[in-house]
Structure formats: C-alpha cells, structure tokens
Structure 1
Amino acid sequence: MSERTAAPTETDAPTRADDEPTQTEVTSGSTAVVRALENAGVETAFGVQGGAIMPIYDALYHSDIRHVTMAHEQGASHAADAYGVVKGEPGVCLATSGPGATNLVTGIADANMDSDAMLALTGQVPSDMVGSDAFQETDTTGVTAPITKHNYFASSSDTVGDVVGEAFALAGEGRPGPTLVDLPKDISLGETDREPGAARAPATCIPKTEPDTHEVEAAARAIERAEKPLLLFGGGVVKGNAAEEARAFATEHQIPVVTTMPGIGTMPEDHELCLSWAGMHGTGYANMAITHTDCLIAIGTRFDDRLTGGIDTFAPEAEVVHIDIDPAEISKNIHADYPVIGDAGRAIEAIDTEMDNSPDAREWCEQCLTWKDEYPMDYAAPDDEPLKPQFVVEALDEATPDETIVTTGVGQHQMWAAQYWTFREPRRWVSSHGLGTMGYGVPAAIGARFAADDDETVVCVDGDASFLMTIQELSVAVRENLDITIVVLNNEYIGMVRQWQDAFFEGRHMAAGYDWCPQFDKLAEAFGARGWAVDSYEEVPDAIEEALAYDGPSVIDFHVDPAENVYPMVSSGGANGKFALSEDQL
C-alpha cells in the first residue's frame, strides 16, 4: 500500500524523526479539529476537498494523519464506513458544504442503518451567512439529523476541538453509529490556542453494559429448560467484539447457531453447529431451525424484515431471549419474553455463569443436521449453459486465504457472495445491509484495504450495475496502488430487479437490463488497473490466479448466466419456513 502522495516537501515540513509522531499546534479552529482527531488516534481519513472545508485540509497538511482523496464524497463515506468495520473503530470522512455534504448522505444513512461507527466532518458557509442561501449552503445538520446518532453545529473556535473529540467518541460508544460535525468557515479560521482534551462521549450517553441480575437469571432458566434451543448472532456480536464469548457459549452448551447477514463470520461457517445465515435468501436449514426452535437466544439483532419475513410467522414456537445494548430494540419488532439489556459479551458470560445445566438438545442438533442434508446449498452448472456466478464465488474463495476480507455491492452478487463464501471470522464480511446501497463495494474495498494488514487479501465481489455506480473510485485504487481484486459478476442486468420482475411482475423487464454494457476489463486498463474478461469455466482459475498475483488493483469481468436467480428465497413478508427453491414455488 502506498503512502500518502501529497506529503509536505522537505523545505516546508516540520523537522522530526521518521518514527516520531507529531501533534498539530493549535492556533485556530481548524488546527484544533485536527488535534482532536490526533488525540483520538485517527490514522486515516477519506474525503474530497472544497471551499468551506479547505481550512481543515490546510491543517491536515502538516499532520501525520493520512488523507485519501476519493473521487466522490459518497465514496469517501463508504470507504470510511468499511474502514471502521474492519478496524473496529470509527472511520472518518470529510466533505465541503452544500453538494459535498449532501453527497455524503447516502453513506451516512448506510452507516446509520448498519450501526457502523463513523465521523463525518463537513464544511459550512460562515456563521453570519447561514440562512442567506449563500453559495454551496445547505442545512447539513437538518438534513442529517434523522440519519446520525447525533450531529453538531460548531459555534466556537475555542470549543470546536472538544466537539469533534466528543463526536468521534460518541460514534463508537455503546451501539455504534455515524456522527457529524458541521464546521462554519469562520469557526475553522478563527484564532484559538485552546487545546482539545481526550475524546470522550457525553456522560449522558454512556450505555448500560452490565446486565440486570434478574434478567440474566430468567434468561438462564429459559435456556436450561429448552428442548430446541437456537442461538441467533447478529451484527451486535461483531460491534461488541463478542464473537469469542458467543462461540464459547455455543460450543459449551452444544446449541446450534444461525446468524443474520451482518453477523456473518461470528461463528465459523464450517463448524458443525453453524447453520449459516437466515432470512430472505438465507439457507433452508437456518430458516427451518428458526421456524421450529422453542427458545431463540438472539444477540445483537434488530429483527429487521429481511430476517423475519412476516412477524406473525417468525419463530412461532419460541420463547425469545433478546440480548441487546440498545433498549430501544427490545420488543420493537419481535416480542422479547426474556429481555437482557447490556454489552453482548458481558451478558453472554453472565448467563453462562448463571446456568447450572446445558439444555438437552441432542435430538434437536440431529434434526438440524438432517435439514442440512435435505436443503443443501448447491446449484446446477451444465456445460451447455453460461458460466454460473456461484461457481465463480466458490473458485475465488478456494483461491484466497481463509481470512480474506470480502466487500460487496448490493443485489444478486451480494447474496451469492454471502451464500457461497465460507466465512470463519468477524469483520471479514463488509457489505451494505439495512440500506441496501448499490455501489458500496468498490469504495468499501478501498477503505478495507487501508484498515487491513499488508499481508491480508481484500476482494470486492460486485455486480455490473453496482460497479457502474461507483466505478470512478477505481481511479483512487490505482493512484494509491492498492492491492485489491474486484470481481464483477456481470449478467448485464440489475439482477435482483430482473428476478423480482420475473417472479412478481409477469416477466416485464422495465429498466432492469442493458442493451449495451461497457467492457469492464478494457475500462479497468484505461484507469490504469489490470483487467480480464472471462466467459467460460476453463478460464476461471487462471484469471483468478493472475489477478490475485498482480500487486495492484485488478478487475475480472465474469460474463455469467443472465437467467440465474438467487435461491433459497422467502417472499417478502412470507414465512421463513416456506422458502422457495425455485420460481414456481413462490
């Protein structure tokens, strides 16, 4: 990975030893902002320059914080989001006022839906011009209030550093989420020598982490008496760094595990207790287990509709133990018979300590294994039909190390990647879940690459429609010489739209397909990356091997079967146990 390309020259940079970290001298609001980021340990930020944010960038010039200039502000927000997912700390993005700030909105909303920690810093017109419809003015705090954990309008050069530090800390506190600080240009330029303190979240926002003793006791008794217990690991297990505790609980008590899509990797998918992920396109055996469990132990999930299908038919036979750090999620969608509010890891350990006996679930475990045999994740790949996308995903998984980081866009390719890649660790699966943002994959791969260790592999599995939405970020990957491999499952459709049109709109393909599609391998070469186009099974291994071996950004354009669909599938609002394995079952 290359270092920052816009470093100060020897004549104007401060003199220091290479390994000596520097702290920005506070002389203005903008330098206080940068000092606050340094105090918080920020190493990398993603953004796009502009007039109102320019003072902050000027202060970054002499900082050790590496800035990655993205091609579009949306790309900056997705890169910061993914950086935070992989790194386990808030990612940082910057944009100027007006269109710069509004271009961040999709990424902020995405992070909000997925509870991803992120700090956005936006420029704003001078304070005395706010409300005058000045050039590139937008009510950024008003626009982003519904999609941030909290946002701030900076009002003083003396306090802006502490505000930024607080916003950073709040983003990662408790249930993570995005925060934003709007920075009027006069506040950034204003003089101050007040140094910001350490990044701290407000005392009023510190969550309850220790579970209530009575809640723990009640949950433990419910689990002990269960005959068909089932663990459901959600994204909160990842955010709470509780995968180790969750796995230990499952294996100690021999309880089968399903995950949500954001929870993929919390339990190794090749473990005998793991039934993979549940929901609309989850495995048949995971959905059968949810349908027939008598005690669902859900950890860190908001029970969204893509998981539950119809609320009335979700886990209909189960008592529900729901562990979550956010009390607002308890009984919001699915009634919790045994709520446990607190940190995921601490709650799991407390329940484990309280339990005297494991539930007798031997017959239940056998039943879950039987469902695995009855509803395998397989697909047909006749030689006389076009290349199957599932085959490509499996070939890529086999060719890469176990702990490869996989980012995706949104659509059919996302589902195939989740279904046919075997994940064994958390923070290896980086995707857009709640908002379902097409175009997330490429900028997310850039953010993940900067967060990952140098010896870790980063792969983006994208679709042709998603790739076209943020393809300009390929220029960033080339400029920064980032070792990422982008695999495009190209069916010349917005594939999931086409699948739904076939299933529910009598095959009327309105605005779902392309009469013409770019040659992505050639386009990659034009950007300065390496490109391959693959049409047959025989070409797949060599193309993957060459792309992974290339030390830089590469793109493989796999021309896959345009008629292939994603199954299993639970129809929207349907019952999880009535999943379809083909279109005629919908």
Structure 2
Amino acid sequence: MVSKIEILDVGGKGVIIGAEVVVKSLKSQGVDLMFGVVGIPITPIAIACRRNGVKYIGMRNEQAASYAAGAAGYMLGKPAACLVVSGPGLIHGLAGIGNAWVNNWPMILISGCEEFNQDQMGAFQAGPQEKTVNPFVKFSGRPASVERIPYFIEKACRVSVYGRPGPTFVSIAANLISGQIQESKLVYPPQYAPPPRSLADPVFVEKAVSAILSAKRPLIIVGKGAAYARAEHESLQIVEETQIPFLPTPMGKGVIPDDHPLSIAPARSLALKADVILLLGARLNWQMHYGSGVRFDPHVKFIQIDICPEELGNNVQPYVALFGDLSSVISQLLTSLRREKYRLNQPQWTDSLKARVQVNVIKQNAKLAVDKNPMSYERVFKDVRDVLPRDCILVSEGANTMDIGRTILPNFEARSRLDAGTWGTMGVGMGFAIAAAIVHPNKKIVAVEGDSAFGFSSAELEAACRHNLNICVIIINNNGVYRGETNVPPDIYDAPPTSLTANAHYELIADAFGGKGFFVNTYQELLPTLKEAMSLTVPTVVNVMILPNSEGREADHSKL
C-alpha cells in the first residue's frame, strides 16, 4: 500500500523533487546504505531511498544512527549516510560525527534545515548547524538550489575518503527537499575516483630499514588504521617474512589473527620495552601512552607510517616518519628488507617474550577456570570465547567488560572488532551491531555489553528485531558502572553513584520486540544458554549476572 506521504513527494512526468536528487546523487557516488530517523522535512529522502536502491535503516535515535553510519563506513571503506532532522536531530547525530572524526571513519551526515526565506526568523528546529558540526567534519555545505545538490553530495563523499578519512556534512533546506526540477536539467558528477595511493620518500624508507636491521628488540604494532587501509595482507607479510613479533591495538585485533604464533599480546608490558617499534596505522595517543613514560624504553626508535602528515611526530618525534598509503609503504619496506635477506635472529628477545606469554596465559587460564557463583568476568568470557564463530563480528563496550574481554575474546579477521575506540565512547554498541549485521548479513554479530553501556541504546533492539538481524547481545550485568551493589539501599540517594537497578531483566526487552531473551544466573546455565542463543538467527539477548564487585581495571579500558 502506498502511503499518503509517498504520493505527495512524487513529481510529474520528467520532473524530479529534491529528495529524489539527494538519493540519486548518493547512489551515483556508490553510497547505498543510510541510517536515520525520519521527520519534517527529511522523510521524503528516506522514501526516495526505497525507489533508488539505497538501503534505509530506520533507527530509534539519531545518536545510534550516526554511530551505525560511522561503523559502516569503517567496515566498507566508503561513506555510509546518516539522515537526521535539523536542530535536536542534528545535535543527537553529532555524537556519531564526533566518534567518526576521532576514529577517522568516512560517513556523510545529511540534515534538513529551514527554508532560505525563513533564515533568522525562528523557523522550526532552526539552528547554527554548520557552526555546530564544523569542528568535527572535513567538509560542510548547504546547496543553494536543487541543481547544486549533486555537486555537494559528490564533494562530501570524495572528501570523506581522501587523505585521512572522516565525516562530512550536507544541510539541505526544506524547500529544496520538496522543490521540483526537470530531471533533464540535472548533471550528476561521475563517481569520485579511488583515493590516490602515495609512496614514502625512498631515503626515509632506507633509514627505517637500517633501524630494523640494527634492532636488538624490534616490535610491530598493528593499529586500527591498518584495518581501515585494507592492509591485512601486507601486515601479515612483513610479520611473517621478518619474524618480528607483533602487538595489536584494541581495534587492530584481527588484522593478523590473534592466534598467530608471532602475536605477543599477553606479554604487552614486556613487548613495549622494544628498542625499535614499527607503527602500522597506530597513533601515539593516550591508548599508546603517548609513546613515552615508563611503559617504553626511553631510547626507543619509532618508525611511524601515516596517511596524515600532521599526525607524524605527535607527542614523540619518530626516528623515521613515513608519509604515505600504508599498504604501499609496507611494500616498500618489504622490498628493501628482502634485498637484505633480513629475518629476525635475536633469541634473547624472542625467547623472553615467549616465556612471558606462557606465564601470563597460565595466570589467565587459572582465572577462567574458577567455577563459582556469582561468576567473575573471566568465567563468563571463557564460555563466550568457546561459542564465538571464527568469522563473527565482535562488538564490545563497557569499561571492565571491554577491557577484560579484549584480552580473552579473540579476533581472526580484519575489521571484525568494533569497540569504544579512540574516545572510549559508551553507547556505541547497538548502533555498531546493527551496522555490522547490515554490512555482513551472512555473519553472526556478537555484541558483548556491560549493563551500563547497553542502557545507552537498548531501544535499538526494536530496529534489530524489525529488520530481523542476526545479532546476539550478551550483557555482562554487575548491577552498575564499573561495579554495582547486590541490593540497592531503601533510600536511593544513599546508593553509590555507580549503582544501577539490581538484577534488572534486560532480556525481556528482546521478548517485547519479537526477539528472544535469556537470563543466566549460574555458570552451570551459561554454556548451554549461549549455544542456544547463538544458534538462533533472530536477535537474542543473554543477560548474564556476575558478582557485582567483580574486580576489573577501572579507567584502563582501551589502552594497549
């Protein structure tokens, strides 16, 4: 049945309205996925998606929609779109724009705005939209006519992926969305060319190779940038051909499989004492302890590869700065290293790392093996690890849940881990999970959530159920933020500010929307329940109660 609003937005013969131009412009640039929340005046854009082969995913909050668009852009390597109304819709969507900005993910935010002749008149949901988003976007614009919409969309898409990726913004006036034009008058720019790939200066490449050749304790750190750059093949090559041990950052996990014999993640504290560190798409920010301090050898030589020249030298002056496309620069290094027939032969370094890995794995396994109720984080993650498909997409958020979970839950493929990222953003989980399920419809999506983190966007379960997405949400429920209470005091104002409702039945939300919920209180129930939930293809929620004061590592939740 055609809705009344759908009839209203159809132009006459040979005539097209602005909403249709927006969608056709996106489609011509290869953008075929949009998340959003409809409202005045943008609803016709969402309707036009259906008629033009752009998949529109209606979310429950613009915040989750914008998180989803950013994550989809990261996984796809091209921008996904997020559609919001002006004013409050834009403000909600700003969360995902900021998250995409700090993580360097391509996306395009499209909002409506007041008609041009209503500017400064107090129009409905009017506000300083471009001023609001400008600190977080690579490009923002507002076309002055329907004819100019294709140009702005092309530029927004192109800029989002050229150089360092990031979000862009286009604001479209209400009178342009509904405005009509003869389609024959429109010119759609050709789809933007793939981003240019640049090589590093050969002189600096040779300097980097010399540092590697002379290193006694070399290390490779694989970052999220390697995942976005599709550099998994080259990253694996340089590790295997040189036999240099590697350490992944949280979202660098999976670029090289976690079970690779040269992964020394369990020995990270010792590994950071390397004398030469090759950074593959990793930044020396807070997650890397700013490249200094007691974590690193005071005389360490960093070899830093980055697509953004402004990033080179942040916090620490690298021994060698290699500006260029990551895959291309790794290939340059490999060419020179092959010429030198280099293969690491520093048994004192590699043997010490292997020994530390073995010691730490034994310690961790002891924690995993504690069969006790209420359960610990580690006991829950033991069974979660055992039911994860090797090719699943793992979403993780929550302070202790994410921090402890990343040391136990493995990743084997690039871009298979989505977590709170560079900002440590809580509330991204459901948006990320929905994006992952749309991008990878044939894979199981597993979202491991702290109870507090889940609460940010739990209503998005309705969107997941409406689209029948293959998502299993596992809630690690300790009744609070960091730690909770077994019983909330009679006077709620006497409760610690970190406490939430005790023993909340979050799984019932899944039942309410047509999914399937499970409540787990003991380790005896856990594994069979997880197996059942993972076997279903409808959205499921497994609400797992753990010891409220189970020990975690507060405030360390995304550091290397």
Amino acid at match of 2:542: I
In structure 2, the partner of 1:17 is none
Give the equivalent residue in structure 2 for 1:212.
201
Separation in 1, partners of 2:15, 2:222: 45
Deviation at 1:35, TM superposition (A): 1.0
Are 2:317 and 1:332 aligned? no
> C-alpha deviations, 1:425-483, integer Å up to 9, x for none?
111101121122211111211110000042x1111101111111101101111111112
TM-score by length of 1: 0.86
Q: How does 1:313-332 map to 2 (within 5 A)?
A: 313-315=294-296, 316-332=298-314
* Structure 1 range deviating more: 410-419 or 301-310: 301-310
- Looking at structure 1, the residues matched to 299 and 359 of structure 2 have their Cα atoms a distance apart, in angstroms, of 22
Mapped to 1, the partners of 2:484 and 2:372 lie a distance apart of: 26
- C-alpha contact (below 8 Å) 1:389/1:416 kept by paired residues: yes
The letter of the residue matching 1:389 is: Y
Separation of aligned partners in 1, 2:270 and 2:120: 56
Root-mean-square deviation (Å): 2.7
Q: Is it true that 1:475 corresponds to 2:467 in the alignment?
A: no
Letter in 1 for 2:508: K
Aligned letter for 1:368? Answer: L
What do residues 23-52 of structure 1 show as CA deviations (whole Å, max 9, x unaligned)? x98723322211111112223211111112
Distance, in Å, in 2 between the alignment partners of 1:457 and 1:136 is 39
1:372 maps to 2:372:
no
Q: TM-score, normalised by structure 2?
A: 0.90
1:194 partner letter: L
Residue 262 of structure 1 aligns to a residue in which SS? helix
Aligned-partner SS, 1:322: strand
- Match in the other structure for 1:559: 545
Match of 1:544 among 506, 526, 530: 530
Taking a change above 3 Å as real, the CA distance of residues 496 and 234 of structure 1, as seen in their structure-2 partners, is farther
The answer for the alignment partner of 1:38 in structure 2 is 27
**Residue 26 of structure 2: SS of its match in structure 1?**
helix
> Secondary structure of the equivalent of 1:93?
strand
Change beyond 3 A, Cα 1:497–1:231: farther
1:486, 1:555 within 8 Å by CA — same for their partners in 2?
Answer: yes
Query: Which residue, out of 113, 117, 136, partners 2:106?
Result: 117
Q: Hey, what does 1:198 align to over in structure 2?
A: 190
- Per-residue Cα deviation, 1:273-308 (whole angstroms, up to 9, x for no partner): 1123xxxxxx4x112111x21101112122111221
1:513 maps to 499
Letter of the 2:350 partner, please give it.
C
Does the 8 A contact of 1:293 with 1:317 survive in 2?
Answer: no
CA distance in structure 2 between the aligned counterparts of 1:313 and 1:327, rounded to whole angstroms: 27
Cα 1:496/1:225, change in 2 over 3 Å: farther
Contact 1:111/1:177, CA 8 A, preserved across alignment: yes
Q: Secondary structure, in 3 states, of the residue corresponding to 1:495? A: coil
Q: What's the CA shift for 1:397? A: 2.4
**Counterpart position of 1:19:** none
**Where does the alignment leave 5 or more consecutive residues of structure 1 unmatched?**
1-5, 13-23, 277-282, 499-507, 577-586
**Distance apart, 1:157 and its partner CA:** 1.6
Contact 1:488/1:556 (CA < 8 Å) preserved in 2?
A: yes
Q: Which residue of 2 aligns with 1:70?
A: 59
TM-aligned CA distance change 1:529 to 1:572, over 3 Å: closer
Asked if the contact 2:140/2:169 (under 8 Å) is kept, the reply is yes
1:430 counterpart = 2:421? no
Answer yes or no: is the 8 Å Cα contact 1:210–1:342 preserved in 2. yes
Q: Which residue of 1 aligns with 2:400?
A: 412
User: Post-superposition shift, 1:131?
Assistant: 2.9
1:308 to 2:289 alignment: yes
Please give the secondary structure, in 2, of the residue aligned with 1:159. Answer: helix
- 1:419 and 1:320, CA in 2 relative to 1: closer, same or farther beyond 3 A? same
What SS does the corresponding residue of 1:158 show, helix, strand or coil?
Answer: helix
Distance in 1, matches of 2:322 and 2:14, equals 46
Residue range with higher mean Cα deviation, 43-52 or 318-327:
43-52
Which of 449, 453, 457 is the equivalent residue of 2:444?
457
Q: For the residues of structure 1 that align with 2:26 and 2:432, how far apart are their CA atoms?
A: 22
Contact map agreement 1:85 1:430 (CA 8 A) in 2 = no
Quote the offset at 1:492 in angstroms.
0.6
The amino acid across from 1:343 in the alignment is D
Q: Identity rate of aligned residues, in percent?
A: 26
Query: Structure 1: which amino acid aligns with 2:54?
Result: I
**Residue 403 (structure 1) aligns with:** 391
Task: Provide the residue aligned with 1:346 in structure 2.
Answer: 328
What's the secondary structure of 2:94's corresponding residue? helix
Where 1:331 maps in the other structure, the secondary structure is coil
Question: 1:243: Cα distance to partner?
Answer: 1.2
**Superposition deviation, residue 530 in structure 1:** 0.7
Shift of 1:318: 1.1
Deviation at 1:162, TM superposition (A): 1.8
For 1:472 and 1:351, the matched residues in 2 are separated by 48
Contact 2:403 2:556 survives alignment (8 Å)? no
CA distance in 2, matches of 1:224, 1:320: 14
Query: 1:516 Cα deviation (Å)?
Result: 3.9
1:45-66 deviation digits (Å, cap 9, x = unpaired): 1111111223423433422212
What 5-or-longer segments of structure 2 have no aligned partner?
8-12, 486-493
Match of 1:21 in 2: none
Pick one of 236, 243, 250 that aligns with 2:232. Answer: 243
Classify the secondary structure of the residue corresponding to 2:406.
Answer: helix
Matches within 5 A, 1:574-585: none
Q: Is the 8 A contact 1:168 1:199 kept in 2?
A: no
